[in-house]
Amino acid sequence: MATRTVAVVLAGGTGERMGAGRPKQLMDVGGRPILAHAVGAFDAHPGIGEVVVVMAAGHLRAAAAIAAPFRKTAAVIEGGATRTASTVAALRVLDEHPDDVRVLFHDAARPFVGPPVIDRVLDALDGCEAVAVGVPSSDTIVVVEDGVVVSMPPRETLSRFQTPQGFRLGTIRKAYELALADPALRATDDCGIVHRYLPGVPIRIVAGSERNLKVTQPLDAVIAEHLATEEAP
């Protein structure tokens, strides 16, 4: 039977803000690499058929060693210089898959994505072409230009994006085809590409979770270590 849902775990970054001297997704939290948590979350989910890991150049062997024990690992490939380029590398691997396959793009740097968030993305994808995960912002967010506040969007209209972001493969393929033909393409996330290049396609938002944090700076690693102790065995 053809694979109906692919999870792409994006681990092509080098973790400059973490400053660990190696990609942060290779750091351990709760005794396992962050990448193992992320791949494991999708491997264990019954709705996922295969997992593709996109890794930073020079670290493919380490990623392959981490991903190999997971039964659904289908490929470990090299990413690009930007997150967008890493997504494009993954789309190339999925060339042979039909347009109606569902694909979820997840930040490897989010080790604690739980089954409910993945469930919500998959459920929403039954009825639409693009799904994002959002959490409300507890801080007020303002738009600043040249050190001055120029607008204050009402907090209840704002949502912080998390991942996974889910798409019908045909939709995200088309969006990237248009994006790559645009000389003014600016790197953004995958929903940003759909929003900009396929403006007629609504992006549904489902609820994320505060546990689904992105390990970005050293303080996040401390929080992640704490969250790992609360993880269900």
* Site for Mg ion, rule CB under 5 A: 13
Based on CB atoms, which residue is closest to ligand CTP, 12 or 40? 12
Q: How far is CA 92 from CA 52, 88, 146, in A?
A: 11, 6, 40
Strand partners, 105: 8, 165
Q: What whole-number distance in Å separates Cα of residue 46 and Cα of residue 222? A: 30
Based on CB atoms, which residue is closest to Mg ion, 14 or 73? 14
Q: What whole-number distance in Å separates Cα of residue 6 and Cα of residue 1? A: 14
Find the binding residues for ligand CTP in span 38-67 (CB under 6 A).
Answer: 54
**Residue 35: what residue type?**
L
For residues 67 to 96, the per-residue mask of contacts with ligand CTP, x marking binding by CB under 6 A and - elsewhere, is ------------xxxxx--x----------
Handedness of CA 169, 174, 180, 185 (dihedral sign): negative
Does 141 contact ligand CTP by CB under 6 A?
A: no
For residue 192, the partner it binds in Mg ion, ligand CTP, none, with Cβ less than 5 to 8 A by kind, is none
The correct pick among 8, 13, 53, 194 for binding ligand CTP (CB under 6 A) is 13
Based on CB atoms, which residue is closest to Mg ion, 19 or 200? 19
DSSP state of 17: T
Does 108 contact ligand CTP by CB under 6 A?
A: yes
Does 14 contact ligand CTP by CB under 6 A?
A: yes
Q: Which residue is nearest to ligand CTP (CB)?
A: 13
Find the binding residues for ligand CTP in span 155-184 (CB under 6 A).
Answer: none
Total residues belonging to the chain: 233
Residues 6+ apart with CB under 8 A from 195: 203
Q: What whole-number distance in Å separates Cα of residue 180 and Cα of residue 187? A: 11
- Residue 11: both structure tokens together: 């681990």
Based on CB atoms, which residue is closest to Mg ion, 10 or 103? 10
Residues 6+ apart with CB under 8 A from 77: 52, 53, 54, 55, 60, 89, 90, 93
Based on CB atoms, which residue is closest to ligand CTP, 14 or 171? 14
Give me the least distance between CB of 86 and ligand CTP, in Å please.
3
For residue 162, the partner it binds in Mg ion, ligand CTP, none, with Cβ less than 5 to 8 A by kind, is none
Binding site for ligand CTP (CB under 6 A): 10-17, 25, 54, 79-83, 86, 107-109, 214, 216
